[in-house]
Structure 1
Amino acid sequence: MSRKPAKSRNRLAGVVLDEATIPRGAADVDHERAVAIFDLIEENAFAVPGRDDGPYTLMISQEESKLTFDVRTAGGELAASIVVSMTPFRPLLKDYFLVCETYYSAIRTASPRQIEAIDRERTTLHNEGADLMAQRLAGKVEIDQATARRLFALVSALRWRV
């Protein structure tokens, strides 16, 4: 019988959106948010420098063009509070959403070659968003590239306008 290896303490075990500042959206928007949260919790590497009291819960709230990431221990203690300005993300998110819309339209009518080209552009923009996320969080939390990608996917889902 095989056993799963124990999960690291340096991870997120939960993500909570502050409903007062990040209201629920249309059903498809809420679904995208739920999928992004599930993916992030399912597999991530997330550590708070100088601490070893994870796993953590990430509580996200929004005020104007800033997201606040409150990182809490299992006991509810605040381990870190990080304010991330969304201003640097705006041009990237605008391009990303445009390419995503193009991709979703293309999968109905375009050739496989066209769809692949659009998907490569979408992946490139997603990677740029992950890099920017990692830069904005550098020195505050330690994350790997895959976690940065999942965080960018979540931020994208939070910022999606229908």
Structure 2
Amino acid sequence: MPETDRSATGPARRIARLELPDASPLPSAYAEADRRQAVQDLLASNSFDPHGVAGGPFVLFLCVRDGRLVFDIRDAAEVPVRAVALALGPFRRLIKDYHLIVESHEQAVTEGGHEARIQAIDMGRRGLHNEGAELLVARLDGRIGLDFETARRLFTLVCALHQRI
């Protein structure tokens, strides 16, 4: 599922294109829209600094392999420049909770008339995004520098890639 940044401006230490080679159709239109929006927002604005790698902007292949989240970082010509793999274990609870919240939100919206419930679910979702982003930044510390918003969007994509834990 190739996604490409359309802007020609911006700092070089960023993701210019994102590939999700393991992306499969998500269980709902809501989840698909969430993934599309995360990709669109990520490409519109991000800070991505693979330590020890010169140049940029980068092409990122984000996938799950053998229970690990793999950041396959390439240059603009798609020449591999670095790969970083993270164990998914520390993310499991957050990913599971995220999927439960997405399902609850979708159900509340479908049923209608539950504005207070929807707002509470949205607050919980934001909290999980923040916790997931903080964990991602911590796990990548010393390997890839990310700003908080980039980490939040990447966490959404991690959840989309790993549907069932």
Normalised-by-shorter TM-score class: 0.7 to 0.9
For these two proteins, the number of residue pairs brought into alignment is 155
Q: CA deviation at 1:141?
A: 0.8
> Equivalences for 1:78-117 in 2 at 5 Å?
78-107=80-109, 108-117=111-120
> Is 2:62–2:69's contact at 8 Å kept on the other side of the alignment?
yes
Q: Which residue of 2 aligns with 1:45?
A: 47
TM-score, L = length of structure 1:
0.84
1:11 partnered with 2:14: yes
Which residue number in structure 2 is paired with residue 160 of structure 1?
Answer: 163
**Post-superposition offset of 1:43:** 1.1
Q: Given residue 56 of structure 1, which amino acid in structure 2 is its aligned partner?
A: F
Matched-pair contact (CA < 8 Å) for 2:64–2:162:
no
Residue 3 of structure 2 corresponds to which residue in structure 1? none
The alpha-carbon distance between structure 1 residues 13 and 127, as it changes in their structure 2 partners (threshold 3 A), is same
Q: Which amino acid aligns with 1:44?
A: N
Letter in 2 for 1:117: A
Structure 2 portions without partners, runs of 5+: 1-6
Shift of 1:113: 2.1
For the aligned residues, what is the CA RMSD?
A: 2.2
The separation in 1 between residues aligned to 2:36 and 2:150, in whole angstroms, is 16
TM-score (norm 2): 0.82
What residue identity is the alignment partner of 1:102?
A: S
Q: 1:116 to 1:73 in 2, by over 3 A?
A: same
Equivalent residue letter for 1:17: L
Counterpart in 2 of 1:124? 127
Could you tell me how far apart the structure 2 residues matched to 1:81 and 1:40 are?
Answer: 19
The Cα offsets for residues 7-52 of structure 1, whole Å up to 9 and x where unpaired, read as 100100011122xxx2522574655444332221111001122333
Indicate if the aligned counterparts of 2:132 and 2:152 stay in contact, CA closer than 8 A. yes
Runs of 5+ in structure 1 lacking a partner?
none
Q: Distance in 2 between matches of 1:157 and 1:136?
A: 19
The question of 1:150 aligning with 2:153 is answered: yes
Higher mean displacement: 77-86 or 125-134: 77-86
